[in-house]
Amino acid sequence: MKGYLKALLILVMISSFPAQANIFSYISKVENISGGIPGLAYIGQIERWTLMPGVANPCYNVAGCEVYVAHRHYANGTAGTYSSRDPKIADASKYKTMDELREAFLKITPLPYTFRVVHSGTVVTSECVGIFYGQRRSASDPLLPGSICGAAPSPDLVCDFNVENIDFNYNQLAYNDVLNNNANVTKQTKSVKIQCNYNSKVIISATTNDDGAIWLNEENTLQSILKINNKPANELFELPIANKETASRYTNSFTLSSELKSVGKLKSGPFRGSTVIVIVVL
């Protein structure tokens, strides 16, 4: 029997990371716009919008309230200009809950959604792209509740890693070792080194189930429990990048572990799963 887990590392620059967040977006690239009014083009993704049971839609019964994709433009954190090429819910006031609003949004566009949003003029705040709500009045529309809005990368902060992706390849495993969850053969640990050109802090998390689990087969009977520094990988782990190696290089490392867990009947054959490790530089 084979167990195989592939974890991909993605560097995401972000200004804040709430402990409870349901809407996640980030900017992966910034382009300068030349000619006319100088500006910037933000390219990235609205990655996910998870369920928020019992949370009210702030647009409910508010006349003219819309939900739309835009960038954080003003110093108070509110939205800039909306582009007609991006998704919008014009009748957002009729949805009572955030889950109803989410369903309406996903009917317009599936996630992840790739955006290219343009900023014009002077940058006065840490800009990001997310889902905003309101009546599209200047400097008044905030982000939807539960949003993680990944800020545009700082042009002079550079961080990288000693790996681009991590493979946990178990090769051939005995059936009984997996069935009995024998950690001597079902657990693997690897170290990831991060280096930045400034003394920095990062937050690390993974897109897994609530307990850090990733299913490795369609029957959902074999899973990998992914941990970051011995904590479930879906939790937020803060790591200082403060070990000074040179005048322009600061480093630190974290461990990523995968442990197979059998939760039902297994058939011999290949098993495979994947996830994304999000590295957020503060």
Spatial contact of 7 and 254, defined as CB atoms under 8 Å apart: no
Please give the radius of gyration of the chain, using alpha carbons only, rounded to the nearest integer: 21
For 116, how many CA atoms within 13 A lie in the half-sphere containing its CB?
Answer: 5
Distance (Å, rounded) from C-alpha 168 to C-alpha 68? 40
Distance (Å, rounded) from C-alpha 247 to C-alpha 199? 10
Distance (Å, rounded) from C-alpha 31 to C-alpha 35? 13
Domains of the chain: 2-11+157-281 (2.60.40.1090), 22-145 (no CATH)
Distance (Å, rounded) from C-alpha 259 to C-alpha 240? 26
pTM above 0.95, yes or no: no
Count CB atoms within 10 A of the CB of residue 93.
19
pLDDT reported for residue 217? 83
Tell me how far apart the 2 most distant CA atoms of the chain are, in Å.
68
Distance (Å, rounded) from C-alpha 231 to C-alpha 228? 5
pLDDT reported for residue 9? 37
Spatial contact of 133 and 62, defined as CB atoms under 8 Å apart: no
pLDDT reported for residue 153? 64
Spatial contact of 165 and 6, defined as CB atoms under 8 Å apart: yes
pLDDT reported for residue 5? 41
199 Cβ contact partners less than 8 Å away, ≥ 6 residues apart: 240, 241, 242, 244, 250
Which among 203, 13, 40 has a CA at the least distance from the CA of 124?
40
Ordered per-residue pLDDT tens for the chain, 282 residues: 454 444 333 334 334 444 456 888 888 788 888 776 778 888 888 888 888 899 999 999 999 999 999 988 877 888 887 777 888 999 999 999 999 999 999 999 998 899 998 887 777 777 888 999 998 766 789 999 988 777 776 656 677 777 767 888 887 878 778 777 777 888 889 898 988 888 888 778 776 666 778 888 888 888 888 899 998 887 778 889 999 988 888 999 999 898 888 888 887 778 888 877 777 666
pLDDT reported for residue 21? 60
Our measurement of the distance from residue 270's CA atom to the centroid of its chain's CA atoms, rounded to an integer in Å, reads 28
Spatial contact of 14 and 236, defined as CB atoms under 8 Å apart: no
pLDDT reported for residue 83? 78
Distance (Å, rounded) from C-alpha 107 to C-alpha 125? 32
Q: How many helices (H) and strands (E) does the chain have?
A: 3, 19
